[in-house]
Amino acid sequence: MRDSADGAGTARLNAGRWNGDALLDEEDGVAVEVPVALVYNGVSHAVLLATPCDLEDFAYGFTLSEAIATDAGELLGVEVGDRDALGVTIDVRLTSRAFARLSDRRRTLAGATGCGLCGVESLEQATRAVDPVPSTIHLDPKVVPGSLAQLIDAQPMRAETGSVHVAAWIGPDGNLQLAREDVGRHNALDKLLGARARGTSRDGFAVISSRASYEMVLKAATMRVEMLVAVSAPTSLAVQTAETVGMTLVGFARGRQFKVYTRPERFRTGPR
């Protein structure tokens, strides 16, 4: 097996393809998946399986969406180590106040690919309160199908491997501003949220290429996302959480159609 040109997200390997008559040798693209350890102020906190690209964005997004830090200013530095036979270690330096909060939580994760709630120690830890999201955007419903069309060119790893998720940020004008890919849907969203926190993209909404589960809504709400659009279905707890925090949750966004499960008032549907 050898890495592809980017040296991180995809790799090429030999495979046999059955064409109905014979088994043919050919080269195939696969997504790279490695253990990624998040270490805060020298203390290991979480190990997740992820695609080893955009890892600084991932560190910011995970730290903020899991409420380990309340804003980007509480991250004093992020250092992504070299990938070795074991995986990749990301060292994050937090302010003493943020690290004290983290120590109090006593939450250690050891999960499978992008596992959302692995490692929580009680049912109480499985859900946490989030402040209501703002309500500043009002969109033409046609913006949603338009955003989906733009995802095709924003997924080079999926085009090569067919096995990764994407999370994208769409501006109020309907134009794609950011996109991040990963083998894990939670990781892709964390990378997007981290890139957004580090950059200037603010108004708009997030699109994910997966179902909208509770933890996806929770991560987005923690980062003050007003609208989450999923190409697949939401879960009952995701809908309940979105309603509670005032988020517009869209599911089954495919082609020109989609379903709005909560807070449809962010769409302009009346006469102009």
CA-to-CA distance for 187 and 113, rounded, in angstroms? Answer: 8
| Model pLDDT, residue 123 | 55
Domains and their CATH numbers in the chain: 2-31 (no CATH), 34-126 (3.10.20.10), 143-266 (3.40.140.10)
Query: What amino acid is encoded at 83 in this protein?
Result: R
Residue pLDDT, tens place only, 124-173 = 556 788 999 999 999 999 999 999 999 989 999 999 999 999 999 999 99
Q: Which residues pair with 31 in a beta bridge?
A: 10
Q: Report the interhelical angle of 55-65 vs 185-198 (nearest 10°).
A: 90
Q: Report the interhelical angle of 214-222 vs 185-198 (nearest 10°).
A: 10
CA-to-CA distance for 223 and 237, rounded, in angstroms? Answer: 18
| Model pLDDT, residue 122 | 56
Residue ranges in the chain whose pLDDT is less than 70: 1-7, 106-126, 270-272
Q: Report the largest interatomic distance among the alpha carbons of the chain, rounded to a whole angstrom.
A: 65
Q: Which residues pair with 28 in a beta bridge?
A: 13
CA-to-CA distance for 115 and 137, rounded, in angstroms? Answer: 31
pTM of the model: 0.90
CA-to-CA distance for 39 and 197, rounded, in angstroms? Answer: 20
Q: What does pLDDT average to over the chain?
A: 90
CA-to-CA distance for 189 and 212, rounded, in angstroms? Answer: 11
| Model pLDDT, residue 182 | 97
Query: Tokens 């990764």 sit at which residue?
Result: 164
| Model pLDDT, residue 118 | 52
Dihedral (C-alpha) 103, 134, 58, 121: value to the nearest 10 degrees? 40
Q: Which residues are catalytic?
A: 115
Neighbours of 149 (CB within 10 A): 11
CA-to-CA distance for 225 and 210, rounded, in angstroms? Answer: 17
Query: Tokens 């939670």 sit at which residue?
Result: 186
CA angle 7, 9, 15 (to 5 degrees): 90
Question: The sheet that has 88-94: what strands, in order across it?
Answer: 75-80, 88-94, 34-40, 43-50, 109-110
| Model pLDDT, residue 125 | 58
Nearest-Å Rg of the Cα atoms of the chain is 19
Buried-exposed string 168-190: b where 16+ CB fall within 10 A, e elsewhere = bbbbeebebbbbbbbbbbbbbbb
Residue pLDDT, tens place only, 153-164 = 999 999 999 999
